[in-house]
A and B are shown apart, each in its own frame.
Chain A
Amino acid sequence: MLGERRRFEQWVRRYHGDLYRHAYWLMGDPTLAEELVQETFYRAWRGRRGLRRRDEPFPWLLGILRHACFAELGRRGRQAAPLPEEPVEDASPELVDLQRALARLDPGQRDILLLHALHGMSYAEISEQLEIPLGTVMSRLSRARAALRRLWDAPDDTVIPFPGRRRR
């Protein structure tokens, strides 16, 4: 029991930073991001017996966090998260522009970009995390990159539609 607690504490130390960054970029609010990370670990501790792969808990923790983030976004009517108030520390002007572009990206596109670029997940791992086919992962990631590229060069009020809502 106490060994289990110690192992969980190691997970907190090891993963809270990455989970925070995911929540930060998804929600655009540092305080809310910290609350969601806290909630994630609380839920994970309560449901730890459901974890199958104890040697690799990160995808499971990330799944809990993403669920909490999208539930929060759902309460807000799935609106794009607001731009973070302050640019990240020591950011060059180029990175500030990138941050602004990222903040204007749809949360769904931002999410898949985070999985790939921040966590270094492979297509297969993203497919497992999002529970979508591999081909869909590739196409969504490609669209998200293209959208980010367009926003990077576009004026601040440009809004890129969410890829799930296709116009026919």
Chain B
Amino acid sequence: MARRKFAALKRFLDYIGLEGDRTIFTWISASEGERFANVIKGVTAKVRALGPASKLVNKL
């Protein structure tokens, strides 16, 4: 069910014009420490390439 919700959310955010790479979803078990580190490295690399977010940001 999480997978279904995410599939719909990712498509929808992409549709309204948010960069698709900003919504990232994956499965990690609590015991997979190394995999967790790798995923986060991948995520930060993707987000760095996109630069700071300017959409849907609440300016306080």
Decide whether A and B are members of one complex: no
Task: List the interface of chain B (C-beta within 8 A of A).
Answer: none
